[in-house]
Amino acid sequence: MAKSVITFLKAKKEGTKLALLTAYDYATAKLVDSCDVDGILVGDSLGMVCLGYENTLPVTMEDMIHHTRAVARGVKNALLIGDMPFMSYQTSLSDAVRNAGRLVQEGRAHAVKLEGGARVLRQVRAIVKAQIPVMGHLGLTPQSVNVFGGFKVQGRNQDVAAQLLDDARRLEDAGVFAMVLECIPEELATRITEAVAVPTIGIGAGAGCDGQILVYHDMLGLYSDVRPKHVKVFAEAGQLIQQGIREYVAQVRNSEFPGKEHSFS
């Protein structure tokens, strides 16, 4: 049965772990969706792993809709979540609702994700009121990279930890169906997970979360610009791809490819 926000809430109640991945195109979406993941996020991380930007800030609504629509064509089972890019929800409530609506209507997402706690509660409420499920995102929220002074673990000091716990409770109260906890200490993520009734999805937040998410390119060794500590490479697909490409180049150069079987008479 296709997954929905109900699947997520049920998983929390039953203590079943949720497995999510990102995807950014049709072929990848089909691969990921065929492996029984619970959710596929078209993350604004696409700015880094697909478009080659140094952070997620240049990503636009047009980029997100373009990629979300492509992924949607390949997804049959997972819950599809579209990420709201920088400046698509910070500017006003009407921008937030309109842009969330575009990810659903034009991108065919089932839900949207946006970054932040107390400062985005009004946006979360307005989008939820428009009948669009919202996933929260706390901790190392990459759209705040310039405020954090880099991609740094958040919540190591007590004040920030207390703020994150409060943000999580307030996001739950505003109606999110789940929240991502990114790069925060494991103990804090576990406390947040115990404090809220919606599932927490960790990335660099330890094993106490209700589920996990990784960036597709990271967990398959396809993106070598950075390899953060929280990333486990489950298959060195990047090396396998290079091996295939080198073999192709060699076979073209020595006239081994194309053979008769790849040619038309």
Phi, psi of 233 (to 5 degrees): -90, 110
Residue with tokens 């960790």: 202
**Residue (218 or 242) nearer to ligand KIV, CB:** 218
Nearest to 203 by CA among 146, 245, 256, 154: 154
Instruction: Please report whether residue 215 would count as binding ligand KIV according to CB under 6 A.
Output: yes
**Residue (41 or 80) nearer to ligand KIV, CB:** 41
Q: What is the DSSP string of 61-130?
A: HHHHHHHHHHHHHH-SSSEEEEEPPTTSSSS-HHHHHHHHHHHHHTT--SEEE--BSGGGHHHHHHHHHT
**Residue (126 or 180) nearer to ligand KIV, CB:** 180
Beta carbon of residue 237, minimum distance to ligand KIV (angstroms, whole number): 18
**Residue (150 or 259) nearer to ligand KIV, CB:** 150
d(CA 220, CA 31): 13
Given a contact cutoff of 8 angstroms between Cβ atoms, the answer to whether 81 and 42 are in contact is yes
Beta carbon of residue 170, minimum distance to ligand KIV (angstroms, whole number): 20
* Closest chain position to ligand KIV (CB): 43
Please tell me what DSSP assigns to residue 193.
H
Strand partners, 21: 40, 214
The interface with ligand KIV within residues 192-211 (CB under 6 A) comprises 203
Spell out, one character per residue from 12 to 41, where the chain touches ligand KIV: x when CB under 6 A holds, - when not. Answer: ----------x------------------x
Beta carbon of residue 81, minimum distance to ligand KIV (angstroms, whole number): 9
Residue with tokens 């034009």: 106
Instruction: Please report whether residue 140 would count as binding ligand KIV according to CB under 6 A.
Output: no
Member of 44, 63, 167, 172 binding ligand KIV (CB under 6 A): 44
Helix (H, G, I), strand (E, B) or coil at 3: coil
**Residue (86 or 172) nearer to ligand KIV, CB:** 86
Beta carbon of residue 188, minimum distance to ligand KIV (angstroms, whole number): 17
Q: How many residues bind ligand KIV (CB under 6 A)?
A: 11
247 tagged catalytic: no
Member of 12, 37, 38, 45 binding ligand KIV (CB under 6 A): 45
d(CA 99, CA 265): 53
Angle value at C-alpha 109, between 151 and 79, nearest 5 degrees: 85
Per CB under 6 A, residues contacting ligand KIV are 22, 41, 43-45, 83, 180, 182, 203, 213, 215
Where in the sequence numbering do the catalytic residues fall?
182
